[in-house]
Amino acid sequence: MRENDMLEKEEIFSKVLRAGRRTYFFDVRATKAEDYYITITESKKFTEEDGSFHFKKHKIYLYKEDFAAFREILDEMTSYVLEHKGEEVISERHQKDFRKLFGDKAEETIGTESFTDVSFEDI
């Protein structure tokens, strides 16, 4: 079997989630025995001071026998975070380039009237 045929056979279904400097790749792949499993890859872009960049990637493999337990724990963990900290993202102010982007002010409030309401159907 040619290498391209192998790649097509191995990757069955894919979705991509772009989240700032991170991109998540969700792929359904096939084993040699024609069974399916999922890979989740996190790719994070790092830019050097000279303008060049590189990516760091981390991958996990998730097999069918672990789907139910994985989903249960993921649901429990995400519910815990949202119940205890809400949906507001506060970690951005801890990034190394936060002061460069937003100045030295500790915090500034921006009214929501300056934002545009966009639904997923518009994208």
Residue 52: the pLDDT is 87
In percent, the amount of the chain with pLDDT more than 70 equals: 65
Over residues 70-111, the pLDDT tens digits come to 999 999 999 999 999 888 887 665 555 555 555 544 444 455
HEC string for the chain: CCHHHHHHHHEEEEEEEEECCEEEEEEEEECCCCCEEEEEEEEEEEECCCCCEEEEEEEEEEEHHHHHHHHHHHHHHHHHHHHHHCCCCCHHHHCCCHHHHHCCCCCCCCCHHHCCCCCHHHC
C-beta separation of 40 from 25 below 8 A: yes
Cα-Cα end-to-end distance for the chain = 39
Task: Please tell me whether the overall predicted TM-score, pTM, comes out greater than 0.85 for this model.
Answer: no
